């Protein structure tokens, strides 16, 4: 029978796809035992039951095949929230927290209306709502299974006041205007070789890929935002590390001012924002 200590040694079996094999093994073991990582450190000699051993081995095998840890656990921490995840949409990434940090620095009305396009798990919309209780936050996604997931996350984090609807981009917001529009849309070129690597292999194409070298959805959102923003309203879009120039161009052509691009933790251009005057 394995102890916690010997069970964790199995982490070396997780293949080179994982940069943090021990961390992954710890998260999977915590999931099976229903404990936190401190418990693993405190009780290395505790024995796993045979059920726990079987469940843990099967999770390790799935991880060895390349399944993302977040999908195996069914959840991912983001900002200050715990979010359920599913293969219907993207696993939220830490780099997206940069967009949230900068959105919270904007000078907006205290009851600002905010729209998150392509909300996925609800990561951006729910994080903003958790920090600004008076903002009127709306979120949309094109797929009903994704909308249901985001609604479940709103309930789980007691943020039910966020309105989450099924809409292809602005389809359901024909006559609405917002003080802030945010989006992390699909932006990967269909030919990008990264799509066959790491977690991206398991995430849905609908969350990742856009035509026109990844720019089609971004262009649509920037152009359509013009008539959905109040005067002085802001648009913030997350994009690929090599799309900053194209996205700034698009903002300029659509008449945005105060355009700037923010870099992510790896110093790559990641979020472009601009104001509609």
Ligand X SMILES: C[S@@+](CC[C@H](N)C(=O)[O-])C[C@H]1O[C@@H](n2cnc3c(N)ncnc32)[C@H](O)[C@@H]1O
Binding site for ligand X (CB under 6 A): 89-90, 92, 96, 117-121, 123-124, 140-143, 146, 168-169, 184-186, 206-207
Query: Per the structure block, which two tokens stand in for 259?
Result: 């355009």
How far apart CA 127 and CA 125 sit, in angstroms, is 6
State the minimum distance, in angstroms, from the CB of residue 8 to ligand X: 30
How far apart CA 4 and CA 177 sit, in angstroms, is 54
State the minimum distance, in angstroms, from the CB of residue 100 to ligand X: 10
State the minimum distance, in angstroms, from the CB of residue 166 to ligand X: 9
How far apart CA 244 and CA 249 sit, in angstroms, is 9
State the minimum distance, in angstroms, from the CB of residue 122 to ligand X: 8
- Identify which of residues 18 and 184 has a Cβ nearer to ligand X in the complex: 184
CB 180 within 8 Å of CB 234: yes
State the minimum distance, in angstroms, from the CB of residue 57 to ligand X: 30
- Identify which of residues 52 and 206 has a Cβ nearer to ligand X in the complex: 206
State the minimum distance, in angstroms, from the CB of residue 88 to ligand X: 7
- Identify which of residues 14 and 124 has a Cβ nearer to ligand X in the complex: 124
State the minimum distance, in angstroms, from the CB of residue 99 to ligand X: 8
Backbone φ and ψ for 256, nearest 5 degrees, come out as: -75, 155
- Identify which of residues 8 and 90 has a Cβ nearer to ligand X in the complex: 90
| Cross-strand bridge partners of residue 3 | 47
Backbone φ and ψ for 185, nearest 5 degrees, come out as: -85, 175
- Identify which of residues 25 and 182 has a Cβ nearer to ligand X in the complex: 182
- Identify which of residues 130 and 206 has a Cβ nearer to ligand X in the complex: 206
- Identify which of residues 60 and 124 has a Cβ nearer to ligand X in the complex: 124
State the minimum distance, in angstroms, from the CB of residue 256 to ligand X: 21
Backbone φ and ψ for 150, nearest 5 degrees, come out as: -65, -40
- Identify which of residues 111 and 171 has a Cβ nearer to ligand X in the complex: 171
């Amino acid at each position: 029978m394995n102890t916690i200590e010997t069970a964790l040694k199995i982490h070396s079996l997780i293949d080179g796809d994982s940069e943090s094999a021990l961390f992954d093994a710890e998260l999977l073991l915590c999931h099976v035992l229903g404990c936190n990582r401190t418990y693993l450190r405190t009780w290395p000699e505790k024995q796993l039951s045979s059920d726990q051993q079987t469940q843990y081995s099967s999770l390790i095998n799935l991880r060895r095949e390349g399944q993302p840890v977040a999908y195996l656990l069914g959840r991912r921490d983001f900002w200050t929230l715990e979010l359920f995840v599913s293969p219907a949409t993207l696993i939220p990434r830490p780099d997206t927290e940069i967009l949230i940090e900068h959105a919270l620095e904007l000078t907006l009305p205290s009851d600002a209306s905010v729209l998150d396009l392509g909300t996925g798990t609800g990561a951006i919309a729910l994080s903003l709502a958790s920090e600004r209780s008076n903002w009127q936050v709306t979120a949309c996604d094109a797929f009903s299974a994704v909308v249901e997931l985001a609604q479940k996350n709103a309930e789980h984090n007691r943020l039910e006041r966020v309105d989450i609807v099924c809409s292809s981009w602005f389809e359901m917001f024909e006559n609405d205007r917002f003080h802030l529009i945010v989006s992390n849309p699909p932006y990967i070129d269909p030919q990008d070789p990264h799509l066959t690597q790491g977690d991206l292999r398991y995430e849905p194409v609908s969350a990742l890929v856009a035509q026109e070298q990844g720019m089609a959805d971004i262009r649509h959102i920037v152009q359509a935002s013009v008539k959905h923003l109040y005067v002085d309203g802001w648009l913030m879009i997350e994009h690929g590390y090599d799309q900053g120039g194209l996205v700034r161009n698009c903002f300029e052509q659509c008449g945005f001012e105060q355009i700037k691009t923010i870099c992510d933790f790896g110093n790559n251009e990641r979020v472009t924002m601009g104001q509609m005057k």
